[in-house]
Amino acid sequence: MAMTLEQLRILLSNEEPDYIKIAASLDASDTAHIKQLAADQDEMLASKAVYLASLAVDPTASDIVIDAADSDRKRIKISAASANANLSDSKKNRVAEKLIDCDDVSIQKLVVRSLSKPSAAIKTKLRKLSTDSSSQVVRNLCTDKLKTTP
Amino acid sequence: MAITEAMWVHGHAMRVEYPDRLSSTWRAGFYVRTVGKPNSTNWFHFAVPTTVIVKNKRQMVDSVMLRFRAGSNHASVTNVHVYDGPTRIATHDGLDISPSGFEFHRFNVAGKPDVLWGIGISIGVKFSGTTDAQNTLEFSSAGCDFNLFETVRLHFKVLTAPDIAIDTMLDSMRQVYEPAGFRVVRASDENLNLPDLNVVDVGQCRRGQTTDEQDTLFANRNNAGANDVVVYFVDATSPPYNGCAAHPTGQPGAVVASGATRWTLGHEVGHVLGLSHVNNNDQLMTGNGTSSITNPPPDLATSEITTMRNSNLTINP
Ligand SMILES: [Zn+2]
């Protein structure tokens, strides 16, 4: 059921939005509003909209996440990395390619964790990070991911 | 909130810090009259006799009060500082109060600290007139109210400092909690260098459910007693929330994200104390986001106050 922009804004302004419940009430006609909120000046709201996009049934909504990975706002990037876990395998790799080289342990942690079928290019990055990352957590995640993914 | 103790001192007990900056001081039965020299500032001090313990309970400082008048708007009170012994416990600066008739003014002491050594009220004053009549201030009384609040003790663990200063968040929280009878004690501060947890996985943020990362983060409880609430200031949560109050059993606490509002801290601690969302933007626990609050400071409902009082994390005075 289509929501007004204001309705969606209020649902996402919740301190702790219930993403699954909100996503279940969305249809393709809501995607434009999610996109608009994902570009909002309020970074907290924008980052929530990016995450919601990853759960929307409309397949084009995932482009909002892919675009967010290019954002120059760190919180939006973090949200894209977090949201990546909900995307399809091919889209996961696209987001991962944009974010895995960023110099931020928390983003790398989320990206590596989100991967299910890493591409050859991503696997090369994982191998490098598994030895070179400054974070023990990221090194371990990369090692585990290489062992457990096809 | 009933006042448990109120202490006043007569105006003519006032001490002047810089007597040479006054043209005259006249102590009479009614009040003390001071006439400042043109373009002078000064500090006037009242020592308030202080019963620090009443019926075996150490009192908490609620607010201080002054009753005074000015000869013109060229004589004014510009600062009110409250001391407990050597420690300044409240600072009200940037004032410009010059009532033409005797007026009662109250100045809040945020944090409602235990009183230890005796209350001093230091009043900054300014005289900018040209005549004695213009540069006259008369104080008839100064006093202090004491109270007993239920106490919530907070420990702040900072991984990333939030956009809105922690001081502002705490001050905002107190604006909501104190009128409801709860004082918020900032028991300790610690910086945590945990880059791996700076974006912390909080899952769906459901009460009683925690992720491995929450379990690891909430294990950091240096200085905190079993019933103290620990607040972790992180860069962000995954997925993105303003904060999340889900915590491991026996480790009460919450995370607050760097993009949180000034009310998020009070909101998350509200969850920790047992409160749920309401659909009312006049209230702290609104489920429409504290960024939507319409009447700052937001309210706590009577039923919410009861829930908070019943929490074992609020300590009876
Ligand atoms: Zn909430």
With cut-offs at 50, 70 and 90, classify the pLDDT of residue B105: very high
**Distance (Å) from CA B267 to ligand 1 centroid:** 6
- Chain A contact for B287, CB < 8 A? yes
- Give the pLDDT confidence of A112-141 residue by residue, as tens digits: 999 999 999 999 999 999 999 999 999 999
Is residue B107 within 8 Å of B142, Cβ to Cβ?
Answer: no
- Cα torsion for B224, B185, B174, B257, to the nearest 10°? -30
Segment A13-41, tens digit of pLDDT? 999 999 999 999 999 999 999 999 999 99
**Environment class of residue A46 by beta-carbon count within 10 Å: exposed (0-12), middle (13-18) or buried (19+)?**
buried
What pLDDT, on a 0 to 100 scale, did the predictor assign at position B215?
A: 98
Residue B234 with chain A: CB contacts under 8 Å: none
Longest dimension (CA), chain B: 72
Quickly count helices (H) and strands (E) in chain A: 10, 0
Q: Point out the residue among B235, B242, B258 whose CB comes nearest to the CB of A15.
A: B242
In this model, does residue B2 exceed pLDDT 90? no
Please tell me the distance in Å from B165's CA to the nearest CA on chain A.
Answer: 16
- B291 to A42: CB separation less than 8 angstroms, yes or no: yes
Q: Which residue of B has its CA nearest to A107?
A: B199
B209 touches chain A (CB under 8 A): no
Please indicate whether, in this complex, the C-beta atoms of B277 and A14 are within 8 angstroms of each other.
yes
Chain mean pLDDT for chain B? 97
CA–CA gap between residue B200 and residue B237 (Å, rounded): 5
pLDDT value at B1 more than 80: no
Distance from C-alpha of B39 to C-alpha of B23, rounded to nearest angstrom: 12
CB A114 within 8 A of CB A106: no
Q: How far does chain B reach from its first CA to its final CA, in angstroms?
A: 13
Contacts of B239 in chain A (CB under 8 A): 19, 48, 51, 79, 82-83
pLDDT of residue A24: 94
pLDDT at B78 over 60: yes
Q: Is the pLDDT of residue B310 over 90?
A: yes
- B282: number of Cβ within 10 Å: 13
Residue at B263: amino acid letter: W
In angstroms, the Cα distances linking B317 to B27, B81, B309 are 40, 26, 11
Averaged pLDDT for residues B30-39: 97
Q: Tokens representing B19?
A: 């007597």
How many whole angstroms from B292 Cα to the centroid of ligand 1? 13
Domains in chain A (CATH in brackets) are 5-148 (1.25.10.10)
Over residues A36-86, the pLDDT tens digits come to: 999 999 999 999 999 999 999 899 999 999 999 999 999 999 999 999 999
pLDDT at position A149 = 82
Cα distance between residue B270 and residue B110, in whole Å: 19
Partner A contacted by B203 (CB < 8 A): no
Omega of the bond leading into B297 within 30 degrees of 0 (cis): yes
Query: Which tokens hold the place of B171?
Result: 């001050």
Q: With an 8 Å Cβ cutoff, are A15 and B243 in contact? A: yes
Separation of alpha carbons B243 and B284, rounded Å: 14
pLDDT of A1 above 60: no
Q: At residue B279, does pLDDT exceed 60?
A: yes
Cα gap B137→B133, rounded to integer Å: 9
Q: Which amino acid is at A21?
A: K
Tens-place pLDDT, residues B205-245: 999 999 999 999 999 999 999 999 999 999 999 999 999 99
Q: What average pLDDT does range B124-139 have in this prediction?
A: 98
Cβ pair A51:B291 closer than 8 A: no
pLDDT digit string, tens, across residues B154-206: 999 999 999 999 999 999 999 999 999 999 999 999 999 999 999 999 999 99
Size of interface A-B (CB pairs under 8 A): 88
Other CB atoms within 10 A of residue A1 CB: 7
Strand partners, B16: B44
Q: Does B82 touch chain A (CB under 8 A)?
A: no
Which tokens is A47 given? 């980052």
- Write the burial class of residue A147 (CB in 10 Å: 0-12 exposed, 13-18 middle, 19+ buried): exposed
Instruction: Record the tokens describing residue B261, joined without a space.
Output: 């509002």
d(CA B122, CA B141): 13
The beta-carbon contacts of A2-6 under 8 Å, at least 24 apart in sequence, are: A2/A27, A2/A29, A2/A30, A3/A30, A3/A33, A4/A33, A5/A33, A5/A36, A5/A37
pLDDT of the residue at B144? 98
Give backbone dihedrals phi and psi of B100, rounded to 5 degrees, phi first. Answer: -75, -30
Give the 3-state secondary structure of residue B136.
strand
Q: Which domains does chain B have, with CATH numbers?
A: 5-147 (2.60.120.260), 150-310 (3.40.390.10)
Kind and range of the H or E element at B267? helix B264-272
| Angle at alpha carbon of residue B256, lines to B253 and B259, rounded to 5° | 175
The share of chain B scoring above pLDDT 90, in percent, equals 98
Its pTM stands at 0.93
Using the Cβ of B240 and the Cβ atoms of chain A, whether some distance falls under 8 Å is answered with yes
**Closest in B198, B244, B259 to A16, CB measured:** B244
Residue B294, chain A, CB below 8 Å: the answer is: no
